[in-house]
Chains A and B, each alone.
Chain A
């Protein structure tokens, strides 16, 4: 069997690895717009100059040299023909397979405001060329505007601070990292960035841009009328699943590709995994979906049931946070907060079940919270303070020595 995988990100690579492990005699064709394999989560390290492109490579085995793997790089698929399971770039047929995995991830959203879509000095941050573009434009930029204070916006800010730029960050939400943290935990990061000279405009929108008439933005205008001069703009306002090339293919899409429990699309034999499947926007889930889709492409049926995706870790300037599940309570929830000089901890309980946790400061050994929250396990009946609960309270072993959870 020949398996065609579009995309060499977290999902595409883990799928290729799983297929060649499951079915060493099958072959895999990878097709990607990317010319290199790199971890998007580290793009800011390329901007800051900490790492070169090779240093972002996350493939740690000989996968790409496998004799049954072919990688067609630098090709952007513009059309997929479901009946023949073939993909095209313009009129050129690039490859076909007995099964297809679509693992094309997402693209940054470019707001249709002023010259943001067209300016030479405005960038998203999702692909390696974006990071290279930012790094190169930054050489001649002093003042940079970043739109969006989520994880990607602050990653960009961190990198540009390393390069000594003067930064202004504009964010629609009233706090930074609004999707990941509550106001209290977010304020700690805001302060760290402000201490480095970053100016924030929170609860503000960019409504227009001013240009030099030669394709460069020279200032952005906010909804309160103020003008912020800049030599460069980075947009980090969110992503959209990369499904443009599926138009007319018959594959059902909504905001993302519509898949069933086996990650199969509306067209038999064509699967989707990772950000493009719309379940999640984090690496671990994309990786897992690639693995599950691969098993299904090989004929072993695996259901994708670990869909929980409201989870993240944050690390800026050595301040660590972990956030899983709800960040703010619903009516009737119990909120427990514990704070000292170095730590902020907030736990949201509903009927004794943890709905969400934020840990800021010490996060070591706290992975069990993800398991407790996603499986809705009661923790108020363990005969101790809920803050003392850990995996040890559910300890049990299987015959092969692996752990299990005993309730």
Chain B
């Protein structure tokens, strides 16, 4: 499966990836230039956290081999795609219990702050044929995609 690899030292916190993620998942038409960065509807699916020492820690979904989020999901809305290995979310199935939010140890799932009837998580830009938009947009090449063996073991 494909996974986004992170070179933490290369990240300078420019957050181009976050804007790209917001733009890729916005519900309204438009370009990144008219993207409302403060609109909670446009939240990014990952976070860039300052480490307090002048550096940054990019925290992106790992699409884990043994995903605690999907394991916690009582509706079947979260599922590891048997083909791509990515954890995909089916909004229609979701029962909005938010156990997945609690179960992701890296804090990569959040309830949609506006509707509170769905969650926001990385979908690996499943509808784009190319690399995820965050990866494409990083000027420092701090994130890149690699093929990894997906062992479905505990």
Contact = CB atoms under 8 A, between A and B. Distances in A.
Interface string A373-407: 00000000001100000111101010011110000
B70 to A, nearest CB: 9
Contact of A313 (B3, B52, B99): B99
Contact of B74 (A21, A39, A292): A39
A237 to B, nearest CB: 21
Contact of B95 (A41, A292, A400, A403): A41
B142 interface: no
Given A315-B98, A400-B149, A401-B148, A367 B105 contact: yes
Contacts of A10: 74
Interface in B1-43: 3-6, 8
A270 interface: no
B59 A284 contact: no
A313 B102 contact: yes
B3 to A, nearest CB: 4
Contact of B148 (A58, A61, A390, A400): A400
Interface residues of B, number: 50
A324 B102 contact: yes
A64 to B, nearest CB: 12
Interface string B142-154: 0000101100101
B51 interface: yes
A220 to B, nearest CB: 30
Given A60-B90, A395-B59, A403-B62, A367 B102 contact: yes
B111 A363 contact: yes
Contact of A315 (B3, B49, B116, B154): B116
A322 interface: yes
A189 to B, nearest CB: 15
Given A320-B98, A395-B8, A364 B105 contact: no
Interface residues of A, number: 51
Contacts of B75: 39, 41-42, 58
A363 B5 CA distance: 27
A284 B51 contact: no
A319 B66 CA distance: 30
Given A39-B74, A401-B62, A284 B98 contact: no
A275 interface: no
Contacts of B95: 39, 41-42, 45
B138 interface: no
Contacts of B47: 365, 392
B122 interface: no
A366 B105 contact: no
B103 to A, nearest CB: 6
A322 B103 CA distance: 11
Contacts of B64: 402
21 contacts: A21-B152, A39-B74, A41-B95, A42-B75, A58-B74, A60-B76, A283-B74, A284-B68, A287-B72, A313-B101, A320-B116, A363-B98, A365-B47, A366-B101, A366-B107, A367-B68, A367-B101, A367-B105, A393-B51, A397-B6, A401-B4
Q: Closest 8 A-B residue pairs measured CB to CB? A: A364-B110, A60-B76, A392-B49, A284-B72, A365-B107, A367-B104, A392-B57, A58-B76
